[in-house]
Structure 1
Amino acid sequence: MPKPCNADGSQQSPAMDADGMPLISGMDALGIPAVSSLELTMDVTFESPKTWIPTVDASFLPKVGQRFTTLGLGIKFYMDYAFAGGFDVRHSTMKRDREGGVTMRYMVCSREGVKGGGKRTVGKADDAGGDSHKQRRRRISNRVECNAKICFRKDHTGEFVVSIFVEDHSHSLCSEPSKVFMRGNRKLDVAQQAFISNCIKSNIGPSKGFRLCKEGAGSYANVGATNMEFHNFKRDLQAYIAGGDGEMIIKKFTQKREVCDGFVFDYHLDTENRLSRLFWADTISRSNYSLFGDVISFDATYGTNRYSLVFVPFTWVDNHKRCVTFAAGLLTREDSESYMWLLEKFKSGMGHSPRCVVTDQDPAMKVAIERVLPECRHRFCMWHIMTKVSEKSGVELARNEVFRRKLNGIVWSDKICVAEFEAQWQALMEEYRPVDNRWFCKLYEERSFWIPAFFMDLPMSGLLRTTSRSEAQNNVFGQFTRPHSSLVVFYVQFECVLEAQRHKQAKMNAECEAYLPEFKTPLPMERHVAQLFTITIFYELQREIVAGCFDCRVVGIHEEQGQIRYDIKGADNTDAQMEVLPTQYVVGRWCKQRNVGAYTTRGCHGDTGELGSNRLWAEINASAALVGNNSGRVSRMVQVLQELRGEFTSGDNSAGHVGGNMSAIEAFCGVSRPRSITIKAPAQAKNKGSGK
């Protein structure tokens, strides 16, 4: 078979590779007989390029010479035309005059141009024969050199005129079901922006928020946006805050104090003007401290913000034995100086010191409490101490159940005095001689900080043994926050935790007012106690009353010095004597009236805009629920809302509306983005719990 020739009759050279070696066809390499070029000819017919013209109503079709008073109106008109026609548009060439005003603007089809991604970038290593070249992320492209476009030019009258309009497209247009995915249609409306903001407050991610929004709208097509727009809102929020986090959180606190004198806060800057310490407490928290602040517990927690700052909430229990937060702080470092600063701000903000503070064995906390709160009793968490016994006592004693039982009987007992504890402790140490006797010696030296016998004179000593209250509340804060949250977002989520906490307590207050518990004895004292104390406390007292009524009996009554004394014998045949219940045993912090209204009032009404917005959405949702599937009501409500929308948008250019997500983000943050930054965002902290 003759070899293929060039046009001038010369024989064609075999194809060569990059190294100059001839390329062998696959058939020759396998020994397959050559096939004539006629047999390899494929019958491929290429049709001539097609053009697609959008089919729209004549009122949407632009025309050359059409005039618009502003460029924005012209762009909106063309975008409405693109939506009706089934294609996306983007901004292109623009010209300005000497004053910076726009004199010409091109709008083109989004599929104009050619693909520009996916090309390999050749580096120095490629020239040297290395393999360290970089491949750009492979991305699909819809660029097909479409020539559809429009041009607006400004004339001498100041209006914009359509000078060029090309309506032919070199690609097929979107079908009706696909229009929902067009870029111009994938936008978040005001309701969706408010919904995403509420999701962020409740620590609900964009993907889950998108699914929840779909359930509310009925279908994904009714949402009007995709999962990407929900993620982009959070991206825009992070970009809005960016480096102004420190400035914005202080500005937010300053605004809260301006509208409410009861809100207190303070902060500290390092040598680089970076925020390093922060303390705050609102009016309701301070009011709760005045009622229930006889004891506080605080334990540092981590992973609540992007800077790895240590979060320190001050917590204890209210008259329902539920956790209540008094104040909170953020620290860059966990040293004694930082804790001293925090306790000083807490003491000055609350007005007085607590009677007792419960913490773990952190040495920095111990030093800070001794210096700032010298009149306060400091108690270590017994649970943290006892969990280390297995490690410190050695393998044999850790498995010795008798040793553990004797140790627990000595340590946890609240029925022995100090002298009895010391004697029993010394006897136990001499009997078993733990391996790490230094650790046990250290515990004995610090016995006044954690053994119950040393706190018998302190009210509620049975509740003061551990920091479990702080750890439980820290777990709640961890559910509402994320490690990558900014300070502004963290504080918004912190307020959501307080709001949920106060809602539960208000509900329990209402139950105390509206319900009576079930009585189990005919004694009038039981009914009197039910009227006096909260339900939680009543049930604990009721067990004592029932035991006294059915398991004890009075064996004698006599009067001494004007007081009546009762001789009582219990079920275990032990005699007991009880005087008339003195009034000092009625502790006010457990009574119902101690916090009436404390949780139901906001204390300050500075967030009137937020309250008005919440009320508005509540009315809209209630009206939508009443509409139901009634077509007449649906048409009526839609008509009313459209009329109101037109009324509010007409002539409201002075409102300074920000396009996109910015207005919703600013409303979420509560403060505008700072133009200049004097308080820098905190530096990345490196503490024992930050994972650094």
Structure 2
Amino acid sequence: MDMAFSSLDDCYSMYVKYAKECGFSVRKGTTQTNSKGVLHIKYYLCTRSGLYKDKKVDTLDPTQKERLVRSNFSKRTDCGALLGVTFEDGSWKVYKFVEEHNHYLVERRDKHFLPTKRHLTQLQKHVIHSMSKLNLGPVKAFNVMKNCFGGFEDVGAISHGVFICRYSMVFVPFTGIDNHHCSVTFGATLLASETADTYIWLLRVFLKPVSSQPKVVVTDQDPAMKKAISVVFVDTRHWLCMWHVMHKLSLKVGVRLCNSTNFKERICGVVWTDILTPEKLESEWEAVITEFNLADNDWLSDIVALRESWIPAYYRMEEMSSLMRTTSRSESENHFFGQVFNSKATLVEFMTHYETAIEAQSELIGIADCINQRYEDQPDGFVKFYVNDFQQPCTSLFEVMFRKSDGTCSCSCRRFEQFGLLCRHIFYVLRIMDIRDFPKQYILNRWRKEAFPNCSPEFSISHEYMTELDPDV
């Protein structure tokens, strides 16, 4: 009692040191001000002080009444141990000290389990982040750090087992198709359950930034998702992914039938084509079912009853029917995220990997890793910039040529020449030169929505011919 300190930081440091010796951890408590609004009392508490209460949380609409209850697992025991200090005569003095705890204290051999001992330095955080980008798991990362720093107790870890967490959460990415028929990740979420109510909440949250309902949604045969889409996306056409339907074929009709006969080839030849009319498809389907004596197979009866939701023959005249063929897109997305994800990752590691994956999809984000080392004036109004790209540390400086008068630019990485897309190094130069309009000469026709994909030579019409027919083209 009556110990004096020159600052609150000194008070806190003293109590933390005392707590470490005793075997508990400290958190900062409440404050009180005097009549003039000046802070004059501060409390420091045991981390097990107080009790958590269930919180009613509306996670969707703040205008609605509270309806969701979130329970929090807690180790708090309403412990009364504390240190209270008051400001008197220019210093902070201890005026209240409660020593007794209502829980066991940590013994000396286990003190590295305390939260106050599990802090990472900036260097350790940087090392973990760098290894995470290389897709090294938490166990390997902390084993490396243990060998470098001396032990788990010296790297902010209690043991390597702590970093193997199981959350049993479901990763749900939202993937769309752009003008170039490329997959684009709009966003993603982690769900604790796959109920209809959870999906309804998710789709409503998705609609907030998007503002409009999608024209078409393709999913597997999840009944919870089906219900959620019917509730939230009332103006959306819901299709089933063909690949997910047909992937169950061997399981539902038997491996022997699929492997020892041409049944699978026959049935796939019926449903995977959009050449057949609906009437022809139904007659071909019946012929295959009759030939292989499968009229009593309930699963085949169920999926053919849903034929308008997944067989392309029923969408021959509808826009975007090619989306039904999602095999390559599903596998591509799974492969893309599988390169950086694994089921054993912690949530923190998962989020780091997810951000790395999304950054890999955007060339513009890479601008943040570029810096100009120097520039030189060149003939004909060009300026040569020497750009350092930190994402490619083993590469020499990239040379970017830029002329402001007409927006002409080029880079030694030759990305535009190879892919028809400007690189991050050019975008970096455009930004530092305060160029607000995208150089039109670098927007190739194949990236425009007016481009005709997969147009054969005999059906292509030259721009000159169209101009002769209509001068306004």
TM-score when scaled to structure 1? Answer: 0.35
**More strand by percentage:** 2
Higher relative contact order (CA 8 A, sep 6+): 1
Which of structures 1 and 2 has the bigger CA Rg? Answer: 1
